[in-house]
Amino acid sequence: MTNKRLFIALPLPDPLRHTICNIRDALHGQCQGRPVASANLHLTLAFLGDTPDKALPDIQALLAGLPDNYGTLILDELGCFRQQHGHVVWLGCSTIPAALAAGLAQLQQGLRALGLPVEKRPWQPHITLLRDAAPWQARLAPTLEWQTGAAGLYASTLTPQGPSYTRIDSIYP
Ligand code: 2AM
């Protein structure tokens, strides 16, 4: 039986992705670390980890029943998580809008019903910009508006050059 390392995430529209790349590059000058490739920028709703392929039809059905958007997100916070090797520096939202909270709750309920893992820690919506970086101290951040769309299902492949993400909900309908 084959497995895929799966996660469910909101993809960024290209104009916003370009703006966020500029922010990432400015932060890289201050915090160093490894910048996340433009194509890999996203906001994760759920990380499923290694999942058997036989679960894919149920996950696809769950995705099909999720909202087609999660409202408008205001990206207004730069923060960092401490990790084993340095820090993850991210752009996120200081408040979680109702549409996002409701969509996340629906997704988590569906994952639980399928016996799939659900994160127990409080959720901080974020887009990872840098890994293995120095801590980001200041809290000042630009305010960017994001009209979100539907969530996608992604497979992550770990390579020596870093992870590669492939959107698979259109490949395995
Ligand atoms: P991160 O960017 O904060 O590392 C694919 O790895 C996506 O799933 C990333 O957005 C990652 O968040 C998220 N993720 C959440 N929990 C994870 C875990 N335990 N291992 C790897 N990625 C995880």
| Residue among 33, 123, 148, 31 nearest 78 (CA) | 31
CA of 68 from ligand 1 middle (Å) equals 23
- With a 6 Å cutoff on the Cβ, whether 154 touches ligand 1 is no
For residues 83 and 124, give the distance between their C-alpha atoms in angstroms, rounded to a whole number. 15
CA of 138 from ligand 1 middle (Å) equals 23
* Residue where the block lists tokens 């996002």: 100
Query: Is the separation of the CB atoms in 114 and 58 below 8 Å?
Result: yes
Strands 126-133 vs 87-92: parallel, antiparallel or unpaired: antiparallel
- With a 6 Å cutoff on the Cβ, whether 94 touches ligand 1 is no
Reply yes or no on whether the pLDDT at 172 is more than 90: no
Summarised one tens digit per residue, pLDDT across range 41-58 is 999 999 999 999 999 999
CA of 47 from ligand 1 middle (Å) equals 6
| Residue among 6, 2, 1, 3 nearest 166 (CA) | 6
Complex confidence, ipTM:
0.92
Three-state secondary-structure class, residue 35: strand
- With a 6 Å cutoff on the Cβ, whether 44 touches ligand 1 is yes
161 band by pLDDT with thresholds 50, 70 and 90:
confident
The kind and range of the H/E element at 171 are none
- With a 6 Å cutoff on the Cβ, whether 156 touches ligand 1 is yes
Superfamily of 3-149 according to CATH: Cyclic phosphodiesterase (3.90.1140.10)
So what's the pLDDT on residue 171? 65
Strand partners, 138: none
Reply yes or no on whether the pLDDT at 117 is more than 90: yes
Three-state secondary-structure class, residue 13: coil
Reply yes or no on whether the pLDDT at 87 is more than 90: yes
Q: Where are the domains of the chain?
A: 3-149
Strand partners, 167: 154
Summarised one tens digit per residue, pLDDT across range 129-154 is 999 999 988 766 789 999 999 999 99
pLDDT mean across residues, the chain: 94
* Residue 126 designated active-site: yes
Q: Above pLDDT 90, what percent of the chain?
A: 90
Q: What is the mean pLDDT of residues 26-34?
A: 95
So what's the pLDDT on residue 85? 85
Query: Which residue has a Cα nearest atom 16 of ligand 1?
Result: 47
